[in-house]
Amino acid sequence: MIGVMLLESSSVAALAVVLVCAVVRPFRWPEAAFAVPAAALVVATGAVGLEDVREEAARLGPVIGFLAAVLVLARLCDDEGLFHACGTWMARRSRRRPRRLLGAVFALASLITAALSLDATVVLLTPVVFATAARMGARPGPHVYASAHLSNTASLLLPVSNLTNLLAFTATGLTFTRFALLMLVPWLAAIAVEYAVFRRFFAADLDAPAEPVEEPEPPELPLFALVTVAATLGGFAVASAIDVDPAWAAAAGAAVMAGRALARRRTTPAAVVRSAALPFLAFVLALGVVVRAVVDNGLGHALGAVLPDGASLPALLGTAALAALLANLINNLPAVLALVPLAAPSGPGAVLAVLLGVNIGPNLTYAGSLATLLWRRIAHHHDHTVELKEFTLLGLLTVPAALLASTLALWASLAVIGT
C-alpha cells in the first residue's frame, strides 16, 4: 500500500514540476530540460514500465513527426512573406476602422490556426497584428487578445490544427475529411460566440478613432507558399482516405518549401532544423510518459468515475466541461492524454467533445495551454501589459458560452452526419 502511494505521489510531483517549469521556464531553459529528467525519474521509480514507454513512443511518434513538419512549413511560409502579406491585407481591409480590423484578424487567425496550427497564429501572426494596429494607429488590445483566443478556439476544425487534435485523431477512428465535417459547425459556432463577445467587451477600444501612421501598400501575395499550403491540406485528406499517415503529406509540403528556400539560399539547413523546435518535440514525448505514469497510478481511475458515458447531449456537455476544467488545472496537453483513452470506448463523439473542452477551455487561464503562455511572452515583448483581471473576465464571458454553443453544434452534427 505504501509503495502504491509513493508511486502516485512521485508521479504527481513529476507532472507538477514539468508543468510549473513549462510555465515559469527558470533560467530560460527549454521545457524539455525539466520534462526529460522527470520522465526518466518515473521510469526509474517503476511508476511506468519500459513497455509502456515504448507504447507511448509508438503512439506519439507520428504526432511528433507531423508537428515538426508543420512547424517547418509555417516558418518557411513566414520567410516567403506570407504573414507580412496578411498584415498588409488586414490594414487595407480595415480602412482605418478598428472594428473592421477586428473582423479581419478573426478571419485570418481562424484560417491560419486551422491550416497551419495554433503555433503559427501565436508565434507568427501575433507580431504582425501588433505591427498592423500600430500602423493604423488603433489600440492593439482587442486584436491581440483575438489572436490568443483564436489560437485555441479556432483549432477545432482539422486534425492538424492543434497538437491536442493530433493526439486524439487516431482514437476517433475518423478520416481526415469526416473529422473536418463533424467539427465545421462547432468551429463556426465557437468563433461566432467569441466575435460577439469581443465586439461588446472591447467596445470602447474599437470605437476609439484610429490615426494611421502610414498607408498600407498593396500586398504581394507569395503564390508559391499559398499553393504549397493548399496542396498540403489536400494531401492530408487524400492521405487519410488511403490510410496513409498525414505526417507524410506534411513532410512533403515542408520538403518542397525547404528545397526551394535552400536552392535560392534564403535559408540554411541549420535554420530548417531549428524551425522544427526539437527541444519542444522532446518535451511532448517526455510529457506523454509522465502523464502515462500519473494516469496509471490513480488519475485514470478517478477520471473514469466522473467521465460521462455515451454521446447523448448531456454526456457530451459533461465531457466537454470536464475536459475544460482539467485543461485549466493541469494544462490541455496532459488533459487530452489522460481523457482520450477513457472517452474512446464511448465513440468518436465523446473524443470530439474532449477536444472541445481542451481547445476552448484554455482561454480561461494563462496556464490552460502552452500557446497562451507563449502569446503572453510575445505581448510583453511588445510592451503590451496583459492584465490578469481582464484576461480572466474575458475568459469567463467567452469560454462557457462557446463551449455550450459548440457542444450543441457537435451533437447536431453527429445526428445529421453520423460517424
Tens digit of pLDDT for each residue in 29-44?
888 899 999 999 999 9
217 compared with 311, residue with greater pLDDT: 311
382: its cell numbers: 511588445
**155: pLDDT strictly greater than 70:** yes
The percentage of residues in the chain with a pLDDT greater than 70, rounded to a whole number, is 97
CA pair distance 45, 10, nearest whole angstrom: 8
- Judged on CB neighbours under 10 Å (0-12, 13-18, 19+), 255 is middle
pLDDT value at residue 221: 79
Instruction: For residue 216, name the pLDDT band (cuts at 50, 70, 90).
Output: low
Return the top range by mean pLDDT from 223-237, 321-335, 338-352: 338-352
Instruction: For residue 400, name the pLDDT band (cuts at 50, 70, 90).
Output: very high
Count of CB atoms situated within 10 Å of the CB of 145: 27
Q: How far is CA 246 from the centre of its chain?
A: 17
pLDDT value at residue 165: 93
Mean pLDDT of the chain: 88
Q: What's the pTM?
A: 0.86
pLDDT value at residue 149: 95
**209: pLDDT strictly greater than 60:** yes
**377: pLDDT strictly greater than 70:** yes
Return the top range by mean pLDDT from 49-53, 232-236, 377-381, 407-411: 407-411
Q: Mean of the pLDDT values across residues 307-319? A: 94
Asked if residues 162 and 118 have their Cβ atoms less than 8 Å apart, the reply is: yes
CA pair distance 382, 330, nearest whole angstrom: 28
Instruction: For residue 217, name the pLDDT band (cuts at 50, 70, 90).
Output: low
Identity of residue 29: W
Instruction: For residue 92, name the pLDDT band (cuts at 50, 70, 90).
Output: confident
**218: pLDDT strictly greater than 70:** no
Instruction: Please give the DSSP secondary-structure letter assigned to residue 297.
Output: I
301: its cell numbers: 481511475
pLDDT in tens, 6-25: 777 888 888 888 888 877 77
**130: pLDDT strictly greater than 80:** yes
Least confident of 50-54, 252-256, 263-267, 331-335: 331-335
pLDDT value at residue 9: 83
**2: pLDDT strictly greater than 60:** no
Helix (H) / strand (E) element for 257: namely helix 247-263
CA pair distance 323, 343, nearest whole angstrom: 11
Q: What are phi and psi of 393, to 5 degrees?
A: -65, -45
CA pair distance 405, 187, nearest whole angstrom: 10
| Locus of grid cell 508565434 | 123
pLDDT value at residue 212: 64
pLDDT value at residue 402: 98
pLDDT value at residue 339: 94
pLDDT value at residue 219: 63
